[in-house]
Amino acid sequence: MRRGFYIGRFQPYHNGHQSVLEHIAHEVDEIVIGIGSAQLSHLTDNPFTAGERVLMITRALASLGCPFYVIPIEDIRRNALWVAHVQSMTPPFDLCYSSNPLVVQLFKEAGVTVQSPAMYERETLSGTGIRSRMLNRDPWKDLVPPAVVQVLKEIDGVERLRQISQQD
């Protein structure tokens, strides 16, 4: 039994994340998905709550065909403790998938195997880019799974992002 860990902030969850997870699903028996900065919401860079992100991910992966766990991970602002924090909140995992240099370093120092997942196109597929498009009223719905479009509609998420991004 082989369990892999993948973490992101998912603000919002998009096709790049989906593609990485579909790839990981073929390599492990179970996936643990950590939602980073879980305590943040209602910020221009972090507009959605952890619970809203849980909903996006779970619905988007409904037909993944590989069991997965979705776990909110609050920041602890102590890098030296972060791996222990993650491990205490998640089922035990054997390897971590990440391309983030800090995450890679922290897991390596903790003795956890790290793999860099096949990378999606960062220029078009990034949370920053998609939030920008939402603010500029450029098309964005093709960049996220249909389930995410639906969740954002239910929570009036794009309107929230626009409101909190106004100048004071």
Residues that bind its own copies (CB under 8 A): 38-43, 49-52, 54-55, 58, 69-72, 74, 76-81, 83-85, 87-92, 99-102, 104-106, 109, 155, 160, 163-168
Q: At what angle do helices 146-154 and 50-60 cross, to 10 degrees?
A: 150
Kindly tell me which of 19 and 90 has the beta carbon lying closer to its own copies: 90
**Cβ 68 to its own copies, closest distance in Å?**
10
Kindly tell me which of 123 and 142 has the beta carbon lying closer to its own copies: 123
**Cβ 9 to its own copies, closest distance in Å?**
12
CB 24 within 8 A of CB 97: yes
Closest to 122 (Cα-Cα) out of 7, 11, 14, 6? 14
Question: Tokens 């009223």 appear where?
Answer: 137
- Give the CA angle between residues 119, 108, 68 to the nearest 5°: 55
**Cβ 164 to its own copies, closest distance in Å?**
5
Token pair, residue 87, equals 């491990």
Neighbours of 136 (CB within 10 A): 8
Kindly tell me which of 136 and 142 has the beta carbon lying closer to its own copies: 136
**Cβ 17 to its own copies, closest distance in Å?**
14
Kindly tell me which of 24 and 106 has the beta carbon lying closer to its own copies: 106
Kindly tell me which of 116 and 132 has the beta carbon lying closer to its own copies: 116
**Cβ 71 to its own copies, closest distance in Å?**
6
Separation of alpha carbons 59 and 57, rounded Å: 6
Q: How many residues does the chain have?
A: 168
